[in-house]
Amino acid sequence: MPEITVVGAGVFGVWTAWHLRHAGAAVRLVEAWSPGHTRASSGGETRIIRMGYGADEIYTRLAMRSMELWKQFGHGLFHRTGVLWMARADDPYSAATERTLRAAGVPCEIVECGELARRWPQMRIGDPRIFGIFEPESGALFARRAVAAVAADAVRLGVRYETRAIAADPLPAGPTVFACGAWLPKLFAGLLGGRIFPTRQEVFFFAPPPGDGRFGPAAMPVWIDFTDSRGPYGFPDLESRGFKLAFDRHGPPFDPDAGDRRPSPELLEEARRFLAERFPDLRDAPLTESRVCQYENTSSGDFLIDRHPERPDIWLVGGGSGHGFKHGPAVGELVARMVLEGELPDPRWALAAKAAVQQRRVW
């Protein structure tokens, strides 16, 4: 096979290049800026790695395989803090998450409301119906650092790295994997412009009180609050960057090249309101850092992993923002098998399954 080109050095792209090279292929990795650059969906400091996905065992299994590969790769990129889901007893998604975790053999613990308050008194739990699903072996990945490390290792193994922009008109000759994140619908506007939706997302970091270790990783897990319609989630104060808070819901449409990356006062105020409700000792915490990034989701939230319908030597890989980073190692492994062995994608990830109306079902 001729040299394989991978376009995009985000988490899907670097792991695809890495696995292709491990399989013996000649690989060129092309990126317009640098791995994990400031506008990339794979940029920023941290991402959650957790196994819970409701009834979607396909993603639980993918996350389990990715965890194996992240740990094997090493470089201190994984921090085991545990991941705490906050849920209500009448929530079918959370009930399905527990069933799937147990069926897949993922260590997990049900933490009743009173025990939540005892174990993590930093949190205010006012509703007695709230309980926790705790994954003790899960945690955080250092995102920007991870993408750079995998790219550097791929180059060490013999991948040829090239900094330049690639246009889809005309399409490159030869086998090519496009893993361009939010740039996919710009490169393939006619094919993907109505099937992948880049949206504006904001992240905030707040400084805990001086000398207060309750918000650090030794005392607090990564957490996701499924009891709140705003979709809050966050990280403890890793490496003293601050207590991270964001909302996992789709923001307005966003252009990754020209979009305004200044944080909005309205969303910062919403973040402070949430802190006052759930983490009252941080209600007046100083904002130390903020970031405007983007999701690039498909209509359902399922990944896009498929061949181009008119060019069978071109593969399209994306739709991962919001939950895809953790899966990078296993997605790269899968794409390498598709390219080298002709493996077909799961029907959920096929281009034909992508609609033009957003109806998210993967969280």
pLDDT over 70, % of the chain:
100
CATH of the domain at 177: 3.30.9.10
pLDDT in tens, 4-46: 999 999 999 999 999 999 999 999 999 999 999 999 999 999 9
Residue 23 maps to a domain: yes
Residue 270 maps to a domain: yes
Residue 166 maps to a domain: yes
Residue 214 maps to a domain: yes
Q: Is the pLDDT of residue 168 over 80?
A: no
Residue 201 maps to a domain: yes
pLDDT in tens, 308-354: 999 999 999 999 988 999 999 999 999 999 999 999 989 999 999 99
pLDDT in tens, 102-122: 999 999 999 999 999 999 999
**Number of structural domains, the chain?**
1
Residue 147 maps to a domain: yes
Residue 358 maps to a domain: no
Domain extent at residue 190: 4-353
pTM over 0.85: yes
User: Distance between terminal CA atoms of the chain?
Assistant: 38
Residue 363 maps to a domain: no
Distances (CA, A) of 25 to 40, 328, 341, 343: 26, 19, 12, 16
Q: Is the pLDDT of residue 1 over 80?
A: no
pLDDT in tens, 122-166: 999 988 999 999 999 999 999 999 999 999 999 999 999 999 998
Residue whose pair of structure tokens reads 């993590």 in the numeric block: 120
State both tokens at 291: 């970031």
